[in-house]
Each structure stands twice: as structure tokens, then as C-alpha cells.
Chains A and B, each alone.
Chain A
Amino acid sequence: MATNARTVRVFPFSQLLTHLVLLVGAFCMLYPLLWMIGSSFKPDSEIFTELNPIPRSLDLTNYIRGWVLGTGTSFTTFYFNSFVVCAGAIIGNLLSCSLAAYAFARIRFRLRGMWFAIMLGTLMLPFHVTVVPQYIIFNSLGWTNTFLPLVVPKFFAVDAFFIFLMVQFIRGIPIELEQAAMVDGCNRFQIFTKIIMPLLGPALVTTTIFTFIWTYNDFFSQLLYLSTENHYTVSLGLRLFLDASGQSAWGPMFAMTTLSLVPVILVFAFFQRRLVEGIATTGLKG
């Protein structure tokens, strides 16, 4: 730290330069996003004809036109659906992944190593391999065009990534805590709810955030299982504006895309510190 402070004093320009380079880099990376936000305030006929991304006025027409579609469905429905699916997925992942992780981390059962390896192996299974069999199962259950195929699997600990995250975390918790609880007469389930769950906090926050972002951004499985507009989520709603043949609506599409970023950015901004915490603490113990 001391050397750093001295370096700054001796070369004040080098830090200035670093910041300048970083700012220019950040601007370049953010330019497409800024272009989109700028375009969301322009009429269609100016979006691609004018190079300047800054709109002439803060015209909200696109936002008003985009919110309620020509078919009568509005983004209120899409946001509601997205949040319902996200909430279901988050609850499912928190309950089931923590249970599975606890079992893998603490309970000795036959072939535990093998089951753990298989569980991790599902991480490497491409999504497309399982699509058709899954679709056939959910279709024969009569679950297509409901939220069930998107939520119910989450209650069966299918997200191996989160299980792995929590296993690593639980392994870092001193076993003495559990032994002490056992001496006090706790059974397995009580140990899990009274000792492990409260200590698992940072890992649960990480799981919540990632599940939210991944579910909110998911497109294909939602497209596959949701067929009618009243069941559509935000990511499906955004696809309703454009088609080359026929009439496209770029302005409203950019406006709604801009709005759709708000929940993700909010979640990230509020939980950013805890997110880093969760990953850092799980990474400490191997």
C-alpha cells in the first residue's frame, strides 16, 4: 500500500492515463447500449438514417406504443409472468439445491463419489440433447403452455452448478458445529435447518441472483413451453415487434428492450457486494 501511494505521488499522470484508457474502453463497450437507449426515443424513420445516437427530444411515444401491443396484451402481463416464473425457480433452487448439497457434503451414502460425479456431469450435458425427451414428458403430463415445466424441475435440484457451489460452502463450515448440535439432540433435519441454512446465507444470495438473471434472460425453454400470448414472459414479448416481411416496429422494440434491462440492473446493483462475497467465500475451501 505504501509503495502504491508513493507511486501515485511521483507519477500522478500515470493514474490519470489509466483512468482515461479505462473510460474510453468502458465507453466503447457501452456504446451499443447507449445507441439502443438513444434509439428508443427516436421515430423509426430516424433510427438507421441518422448516425447521431443522441435523440433530438425525450419523446416517450415508443414507450407508450410498445407497452400495449396491437393484440391487446401488455408488458404488464409479460413482467408479471416473468416474475412468477423467476420466483418459482428461485424458491425451488433454494430449497432443493441446499438439501442436495447438504447430503453430498455431509452424509455418507453408498457410491456418493459416483453420484456426485454424475451430478457434475449433467453440467456438461448440452441443453439440446435433453430438449425433445423433456418436451415429450411434459407434453404427456399435459403441462405445455403452463409455467410448470419451467418451475417444477427446479424443486428437484436440477441445477448442478448451485449444488456444487453450496457443497463447497458447506464443506467450509466447521463440522464441530454440527457435532455440538447433535450432542444437544438435533436430528439431521434440525441440523440442516438450524445450523446449515443460517450459515449458508452468502451462497443462498448468490443462488438467488443467478437464478433470477438466468431465468429472466432465458429464451428457448420459455419459447418452447409457453405458446399463447397471455403466458408470455418478457423475453418472449420482446420478440413480437420485428419481422422483415410485414410491418416492423423498431422504436417500440428498443424502448421495451431498454425497460427490460431495468430489473436485471437493479438486482445486480443491490446485490453486487453480496454476490462477490458468496463467490469469494465458497472459493476459499477446495
Chain B
Amino acid sequence: MAKQEDLEAAGSARRLTRRTILVGAGALAVSPLLSGVSFAQDATTMRLSWWGSDDRHKKTLALIQLFQSKHPGLTITPEYGGFVGYQDKLSTQFAGGNAPDVMQVAEPGPLIASGRLLALDDYIAAGTIDVSNASKSVLETAKVNGKQYSVPWGLACGCYFLDNQVFEDAKVDIPDYGWTWDEYAKVAKSLSKPGFYGSADIWAAAGTRSLAALEVFLRERQKYAFTPEGKIGFGPDELTEWFTFWDELRKAGAVPPGEVTALETGFETSPIITGKAAMYPINSSIASSLQGLTKHKLTVAPFPTGVGSTALKGDQYGAFVNSSMQIYINVDAKDKDLAAAFVNFVLNDPEAAKIQLMARGVPASSKIAELVTPNISPVEQSMVATVKYVADHASPGFVPWPKQGSEVQDLMQRSHQAVAFEQASIADTVSQFFDQAGQILG
């Protein structure tokens, strides 16, 4: 046994030396790598990061080529992938001090709060980033604590997608952009037949349209989902009216019962795709993706209005435009002026717009949007027209959602679900909603 111990001692001593040699060799192997990196950083480089699909990647790479051709000596490193994991990667990169210079951000809140993103106000004031053709109200929605951290890299609005085939077969006219809730209800009823519904419901098991859609109605009465102090911005009367409007349509067979709506796991399995409904409320930015899933021609219509309507009546236009995608600059960007120039380039350059088309939604500059309209698909043209109509008619005013906004959104979804499945009366659901929302918002 003594011999074995000796052997072990000898073995470990030998391994120690071997390890030392390995470490030394490793350090040697790494050193050229390190110097290589520092050399690369001396040239003018900029890192641009985004998520998207193949189509957006292709267009953005072409965009980078164009910007590089205008700035000789500059190399932009593109970093892109899918949406899943994007924010996790970005947060880790920021924590590791290795974040990109210019980027899309999925959840900007925490990054702005910790001072990682650059406020663009100085660049806007100096005209380096020209926002004169961009919608003022949308710019306003992107402000945090009065500062502009991003500019919209595309616009969208809540809208209805209409299945033209069904309208034609039923000999019902496609509604005007200015349609009222009364007209909406009438169209929905006239398109319905057993097993088929005129319109998808306003709530869905997946997605976020429940509270956002209610806000369209609230804005007709100069109210918002939340108050500036972060409390609920509406009363039981409005919520009762809202639930009742949809409940009547559900009972009339114009929107599907709870068990049909609950099958929707995303827009891929929405009733307009599975052939169960002719109208579908969602954000306009999915136009191309949605059209790709069906052979029926789709058109886009704005949300109905309560002006001149008996149902969901209001005295101003409720629908509004939001940004579908924003562009941000890292506060530690190597060349901030260049980064700002890139932001201005994607926002205002006509050649850039012809490359991007609708890859990130409707261009934020109205002039640019008009310029590219001939180059895009029919469903995208109707998306552009809808966003323009809504932008022209939207009432000013905006209240940002508080931190707990998404929790209230979930609560609204559950409440609407309870009514749709007839688990609780509208009166009980409404009072429960306000109790629970009060708890969430403190």
C-alpha cells in the first residue's frame, strides 16, 4: 500500500507540472487572439443588433451596405437572430460591457432605468436626427421621464383584418375607414351563419389585445386605461358597457363563443385563418405574415369609431398609432455621432426606405411612407392607408402604462374570458376586476 501512496504522490506531482505547462501553452495560444481583437477595434466599426425573420435580415443587410457605401472606411457588424432569447442575450451583453452600438430592444424599461441607453434629445435638437416628418404623438409615446430614448423604426395601429372572399360571397360591402361600432355590429351579424362568425372576439387567450382594445373605446371619452398616477383610468360603467356590447354580439352569434376563441394560440390559429370568422382585430404589423397564411385576399380597416354611434358612443376618435419597432443607441457607443447618423438614415433616407419597405412596419416619416407605397404588396398598401387614416384622425393625448400594466392586461383577459364562458355575470366580473386591479396597482 505504501508503494501505491508513493505512486500517487509521484503521479500528482507529475500532473501538476503537466498542468502548469498546459496553462502556459494556453496563455500563449490566447495572446495572439487578444491582440487581434484590439487591432480590429482601431478601425471604424459599429455593431448593429436586431431580431426578425429572414426577410428582415435580408433587407437590413442591404441597408447596412448602403450606409457603408456612404461612409467609406466604416464596417458595420450585423448581429441578428430570432426573437426568442434576444432580450436575454442583450441584457447579458450589457452586463458584460459588450453590448452593440445601435439596436432594437424588446424590453427597454430596465435598460433605460439603469442608464444603458442614450437619450437622443440633443441629436434631435441639433437636427442630426430629423423627426420633422415623424408623427409627434408617436414620438411622445416613446418618451420616458420626458426624454426621447428611441425613434420609431416603423408604425402600426390596432386594426381589423377583413377576409374579402367572405364579404364578396355574402355580398356585403367592405366598410369605409370611418365605420362606427353600430356598423361593425351590423356587418358582423350579416356575415354570420351557423358555425361561422362575422368577427373574431375582442379578447383572446393569447396575445395582448384585451386591454389595448378597450383603450380605443376609452379614448373616445378622453379616458385611458390608466391615470398618470398609475391607477385604473376608467370606471365600472365603461367596463360594463364594453362587456355588454361584446356579450350581445356573442349571444347573436356574430362573434364566437368562449370555447372557439380559446382555441386561438396566436394569429396562426386565429379564426380568420382557420376559416371560422371574417374579421379579426389585432395589430397591423402582422399584415404580411397573416396574408401569407391564407389564400383569401385580406384588407386592413381601422378600429370602428364611437363618434355618431349608439353603441360604445364617444365624442372623439379613439384609435391611435403606435410604433411597431424602435431603434436605440448604446450610451457607451464607440462613435455616438455616427450612431445618430445611422438612426437618421433609417428614418429619413429615401433610398434606405426603398430597401426596407415594410420590414419593420409603416415608415415613421409620412413622406417616406408615401414614396414606397407603389413598391409593396396589396395587403401592405392597405396597412399603410389604414395607419395614415388613423394617424390623421387620432386625438392627441397619451398616458403610459405603469410597470404593472401587463398584470392588469392579464386580469382583463381573465375577466373577459369569465364573461365569454358565462362563468360569472357581467356585474360580478366588473366589481371583481376593480377589486383585483386595485390590489395589483397598490
A residues with a Cβ closer than 8 A to B are 44-49, 69-71, 107-109, 131-132, 135-136, 139, 141-144, 146, 182, 187-189, 219-220, 223-224, 227-229, 232, 236, 239-250, 252
Contacts and interface: CB of A to CB of B under 8 A. Distances in A.
Given A107-B8, A245-B361, A135 B273 contact: no
Interface stretch (B56-64, B136-144, B420-428): B56-64
B288 A246 contact: yes
B268 interface: yes
Interface stretch (B87-95, B226-234, B313-321): B87-95
Contact of A136 (B52, B85, B95, B286): B95
B285 A240 contact: no
Contacts of A232: 81
Contact of B57 (A49, A71, A131, A187): A71
Contact of A245 (B57, B84, B273, B286): B286
B305 to A, nearest CB: 25
Given A107-B11, A187-B7, A132 B96 contact: yes
14 contacts: A45-B292, A48-B293, A49-B293, A135-B98, A139-B96, A142-B33, A143-B33, A223-B88, A228-B78, A239-B82, A245-B283, A246-B52, A247-B54, A248-B53
Contacts of A246: 52-53, 55-56, 285, 288-289, 358-360
Residue from B89, B92, B95, B156 having most chain A Cβ neighbours under 10 A? B92
B295 A240 contact: no
B154 A245 contact: yes
Nearest to A142: B37
Contacts of A132: 92, 95-96
Contacts of A49: 273-275, 293-295
A242 B53 contact: yes
Nearest to B30: A141
A71 to B, nearest CB: 5
Given A45-B292, A239-B84, A244-B289, A188 B7 contact: yes
Interface in B268-304: 268-269, 273-275, 283, 285-286, 288-289, 292-295
Given A240-B81, A244-B267, 20 more contacts: A45-B293, A46-B295, A70-B57, A139-B96, A141-B34, A142-B36, A187-B10, A188-B8, A188-B14, A223-B85, A239-B82, A240-B80, A243-B53, A243-B83, A245-B325, A246-B359, A247-B56, A248-B289, A250-B268, A252-B54
A243 B56 contact: yes
B12 interface: yes
Nearest to A132: B95
A109 B292 contact: no
Given A44-B293, A45-B295, A131 B92 contact: yes
Contacts of A224: 88-89, 92
Contacts of B97: 136, 139
A97 to B, nearest CB: 16
B11 A223 contact: no
A240 B54 contact: yes
Contacts of B81: 223, 232, 236, 239-240
A71 B8 contact: no
B52 A187 contact: no
A136 B96 contact: yes
A135 B97 CA distance: 10
Residue from B11, B52, B53 having most chain A Cβ neighbours under 10 A? B53
A70 B82 contact: no
A99 to B, nearest CB: 9
Nearest to A65: B54
Contacts of B55: 70, 246-247, 249
B79 interface: yes
Contacts of B5: 108
Residue from A46, A227, A243 having most chain B Cβ neighbours under 10 A? A243
Contacts of B92: 131-132, 135, 224
Contacts of A250: 268, 292-293
A182 B98 contact: no
B211 to A, nearest CB: 19
B324 interface: yes
Nearest to A238: B82
B51 interface: yes
A107 B154 contact: no
A219 B163 CA distance: 38
B3 interface: yes
Contacts of B34: 141-142
B4 interface: yes
A188 B7 CA distance: 7
B95 A107 contact: no
A44 B11 contact: no
Nearest to B93: A135
Contacts of B93: 135
B77 interface: yes
A82 B78 CA distance: 21
Given A45-B292, A245-B154, A246-B55, A144 B98 contact: yes
